[in-house]
Amino acid sequence: MKKAAQFVILFLISLQSFAQNDTIKIGQLLISKPESKSNLSWKEIIKNKDLHGLKVNYKKNIKSNFNQHETSWFVFDLALVNYLDETKYAENKSLSNPTIGFPLSKFKMQLNNAKSTNINIWVVQQKHRFKNPFISLKYGLGFEMFNFRYENGIDFRKDESMNIYLSDKKYEKNKLFISYISFPIQLGYDFKLKNDKLVGVSGGLVSGYLFKSYNKQINRDLGKEKYNSNFSLRDMRLAGIFEIRIDKLKFFGTASLKNMLDKMDTNQSLYPYSFGLRFSKL
C-alpha cells in the first residue's frame, strides 16, 4: 500500500513537474518540499524517486456565503395602485354621454388612491446566482390582484356594447377587482456596504393571464350588488417590474406596458402602475 501511495504521489507531481514553487497544488492536495530539498527541482525529486520528507495536505473547499439556488414559498406583496389614463378624448368624437370620457371632458375615471391596492401572492419564487454571486436571476409563479376603488359613480356592466358608464348613484363602495395568474422574471445585482448590509436592484418583466374579475358595489337603496364578467379586459397582461433592496427591506413597483382594456366602444386606454413593499427573503 505504501509503494502504491508513493507511486500515486510521484504521478501527481509529474503532472506539475515544470512548477518552480516549493509547494504545488493538485486539486485539493497541497504537496510541499522539506527545507532539505528546497534546492532540488521537482524533476530531480521525481528522477530520484525520493519522497522522504514531502508533506501532503488536504485543503477543504471554502463554502460560499451564497447558495447558487434559493427557493421561497408564498411571498407576499402589498402596494398602492393607480393607472395612467392615456385615452385621447379629443380624437374620439364618437364617445358620448353617459359613457366615460365624453369629448373634451376632463371628468375621467377617478380612483380613491388611498384604498386602491395591489396585493400579490407568489406561490413560489426562485433565485439563481451566477458565477459572480452578486448577479442573479429571479423568477416565480403566483397571483396578482388589483382592487380599483372609485370615487365617482362608475358602472361596469355586461351588455352587448360593453361600455363603462357614469352614474348619478352614490356608492358607499364601488370596486373593480381584477386578478391574473402571473410569471415574473427579473435580473438583479446585489452589492455589500461597508457594514456588510446588502443593497440590490433588479428589473424585468411580468406577464399574466386574466383569472377573475368582477364589479362590486354597495348602495344604501339597492344594497350590495356584484357583477361577474371580464368587462372587455385584455386577457394578457404585460408589465415592467423593478425591485430595490436595502438589506431586509424590499420595495417593488410595476408599470403596465399594455392597455388593461381590450377594444371596446369606450376606447379607454388605461395603464395600471403600483408601488409598495415586498415581504420575501430572496
Q: What is the pLDDT of residue 132?
A: 82
Task: Kindly state the average pLDDT of the residues 249-253.
Answer: 96
State the residue for C-alpha cell 524517486. Answer: 49
pLDDT above 70 as % of the chain: 64
User: Is residue 86 within 8 Å of residue 108, measured between CB atoms?
Assistant: no
Q: What is the pLDDT of residue 20?
A: 56
> What is the distance between the alpha carbons of residues 5 and 172, in angstroms, rounded to a whole number?
86
Q: What is the pLDDT of residue 235?
A: 93
Task: Kindly state the average pLDDT of the residues 154-163.
Answer: 66
Kind of pairing between the strands at 270-279 and 29-32: unpaired
pLDDT beyond 80 at 60:
no
Has this prediction a pTM greater than 0.75?
no
Most confident of 44-58, 77-91, 94-108, 268-282: 268-282
> What is the distance between the alpha carbons of residues 97 and 68, in angstroms, rounded to a whole number?
58
Q: What is the pLDDT of residue 229?
A: 86
Question: Residue 2 — left, alpha, or beta (φ > 0 → left; ψ -120 to 50 → alpha)?
Answer: alpha
Task: Kindly state the average pLDDT of the residues 220-229.
Answer: 86
pLDDT tens column, 89-127: 666 555 444 344 443 344 456 677 788 999 999 999 999
Task: Kindly state the average pLDDT of the residues 222-245.
Answer: 91
State the residue for C-alpha cell 379607454. Answer: 268
Burial track 88-122 (b if 16+ CB lie within 10 A, e otherwise): ebeebeebeeebbbbeeeeeebebeeeebbbbbeb
Q: How far is CA 198 from CA 187, 251, 282, in A?
A: 16, 14, 12
> What is the distance between the alpha carbons of residues 109 and 82, in angstroms, rounded to a whole number?
11
Q: What is the pLDDT of residue 151?
A: 81
Task: Kindly state the average pLDDT of the residues 69-82.
Answer: 93
Q: What is the pLDDT of residue 282?
A: 86
Most confident of 162-166, 192-196, 201-205: 201-205
Task: Kindly state the average pLDDT of the residues 78-96.
Answer: 73
Task: Kindly state the average pLDDT of the residues 196-220.
Answer: 92
Q: What is the pLDDT of residue 104?
A: 34
User: Is residue 83 within 8 Å of residue 111, measured between CB atoms?
Assistant: yes
Task: Kindly state the average pLDDT of the residues 241-255.
Answer: 95
pLDDT beyond 50 at 158:
yes
Mean pLDDT rounded to a whole number for the chain: 79
Domain ranges of the chain: 2-58, 69-279
Residue 180 pLDDT level (bands cut at 50, 70, 90): very high
Q: What is the pLDDT of residue 79?
A: 96
Burial track 267-280 (b if 16+ CB lie within 10 A, e otherwise): bbbbbbbbebebeb
Task: Kindly state the average pLDDT of the residues 70-86.
Answer: 91
Q: Cell triple for residue 246? A: 436595502
User: Is residue 191 within 8 Å of residue 125, measured between CB atoms?
Assistant: no
pLDDT beyond 80 at 44:
no
Question: Residue 49 — left, alpha, or beta (φ > 0 → left; ψ -120 to 50 → alpha)?
Answer: left
